[in-house]
Amino acid sequence: MNEQKIVDVENRLMANVFAKKPVVITRGRAALVWDVNGKEYVDCTSGYGVALLGHCHPRIVEAISKQAQQLITCHAGYYNDKRAEFLQKLTSITPKGLNKAFLSNSGAESVECALKLARKHMGKPEIIAVMGAFHGKTMGALSATWDKKYREPFQPLVPEIKHVPPDNLEKMREAIGEKTAAVLVEPIRGEGGIRVPPDGYLKGLRDICDEKGVLLMFDEVQTGFGRTGKFFACEHWGVVPDVLCLAKPLAGGLPLGATIAREEVMSSLKLGDHSTTYSGNPLVCAAGCAAIDVLLEENVAGKAAALGAYFISNLEKLREKHKSVKEVRGLGLMIGMESKFGVLNVLLKCMEQGILVLDAGKTVVRFLPPFVITREQIDKVISVLDNVLEEEENARASGASPN
Ligand SMILES: Cc1ncc(COP(=O)(O)O)c(C=O)c1O
């Protein structure tokens, strides 16, 4: 199919729920992707954080190819070698005490499991999330997501899920009541604009949850697996949740979600309480095993920390130079640059110049590059952004910019 045909077919035959960018991506390697015409892009999106290990990491490709010849699918009603291996590897890297997992296929599903687990374990219905949170778009996860543009068309949502202001321990303490089962937060809010909590917030949440006897659940779908410079973002503050939700990069690009809890908590889910046909699919688990090997052996977290610091320091220079840049924030390779204006034009102009970046809300440019991005590639991103910001500022000064 040629470029135009591909675009036409997707527009005609696929639900129009994605804000499509006008580019057809057909190939990827490490931190680069190429479009159908062979044009190269530095990928600072990683497919919304999935390709943290880089596109087509050789060890992931090898693991998938090998397993595909052996066994692709095996329902969790039967035992499987790759699933067992993956579970061992996974629970060897999760924070202490989190040692029993339910495997699923996406971030939203990992949250769904956490919500059901909290209600079942506690025998209480209420979940408290925070304003600005994003936990996915299936009905349960959506009920914990904050943005009303996602929620309103689908009312009524799952009841007894409420939101309190983020980073505010007093409001959280006040909100927890008799019927509260759990508190659910992202350690660093991603979609909400890359918001790093103040020191002491997560520890404070842990203390409040302990005091009130409710579960603390961390959604690390975006922050987990080394992206922020630690295996899990909660480790920056030394806080261990009762339930941890993972997905995105967990299987090096294949769909895999995991909800991991302390044994005594996960054991509240009894036979038939929860399931998915693909749970712990061998192909995906083989990729997951390879992904954890890469995480450990290639120092993903350490490199994310160093490259992130380099990236952020260069973005800070742009902030000093460009009046439109309000703030730069983030940890490791999870970075946001807040603008005084809408950033859609910045995204599109960067793309024209061979850089893929994301937004996080209307005014934040979000960078989620793979850990294999090079310093030279980061320099290129900075230099393109420098030009684009200047163009945008000039266009705005002359009244020409539309967003
Ligand atoms: C923190 C967080 N939780 C959950 C999700 C939902 O994941 P998925 O899109 O795989 O359902 C996302 C996706 O961006 C996310 O960032």
CB 328 within 8 A of CB 316: yes
Residues of the chain with pLDDT under 70: 401-403
CB of 112 closer than 6 angstroms to any ligand 1 atom: no
CB of 111 closer than 6 angstroms to any ligand 1 atom: yes
Residue 113's CB is within 10 A of a number of other CB atoms, namely 29
Ligand 1 atom at shortest distance from the alpha carbon of 257? 10
* Alpha carbons 135 and 110: distance in angstroms, whole number: 9
pLDDT in tens, 105-140: 999 999 999 999 999 999 999 999 999 999 999 999
Ligand 1 atom at shortest distance from the alpha carbon of 138? 11
What pLDDT score was predicted for residue 174?
98
Ligand 1 atom at shortest distance from the alpha carbon of 109? 11
Mutate to test the pocket of ligand 1, among 222, 232, 234, 256 (most ligand atoms within 8 A of CB): 222
Q: What percent of the chain has pLDDT over 90?
A: 98
**247 phi and psi, to 5 degrees?**
-170, -125
Residue at token pair 């890297």: 93
- Which H or E element spans position 365? strand 364-367
What pLDDT score was predicted for residue 400?
75
CA of 382 to the centre of ligand 1 (A): 27
Q: Which two tokens stand for residue 347?
A: 């995204």
Q: How many residues does the chain have?
A: 403
CB of 45 closer than 6 angstroms to any ligand 1 atom: no
CA of 248 to the centre of ligand 1 (A): 7
CA of 68 to the centre of ligand 1 (A): 27
CB of 241 closer than 6 angstroms to any ligand 1 atom: no
Calculated CA dihedral for residues 382, 384, 388, 389, nearest 10 degrees: 10
Ligand 1 atom at shortest distance from the alpha carbon of 136? 6
CB of 247 closer than 6 angstroms to any ligand 1 atom: yes
Mutate to test the pocket of ligand 1, among 52, 135, 256, 368 (most ligand atoms within 8 A of CB): 135
Q: What percent of the chain has pLDDT over 70?
A: 99
CB of 191 closer than 6 angstroms to any ligand 1 atom: yes
CA of 263 to the centre of ligand 1 (A): 24
What pLDDT score was predicted for residue 403?
62
CB of 224 closer than 6 angstroms to any ligand 1 atom: no
CA of 235 to the centre of ligand 1 (A): 20
CB 187 within 8 A of CB 227: no
pLDDT in tens, 55-80: 999 999 999 999 999 999 999 999 99
Mutate to test the pocket of ligand 1, among 221, 232, 245 (most ligand atoms within 8 A of CB): 221
What pLDDT score was predicted for residue 402?
61
CB 76 within 8 A of CB 275: yes
What CA–CA distances, in Å, run from 304 to 138, 167, 224, 367, 376?
Answer: 30, 25, 12, 12, 15
CB of 190 closer than 6 angstroms to any ligand 1 atom: yes
What pLDDT score was predicted for residue 399?
81
CB 284 within 8 A of CB 255: yes
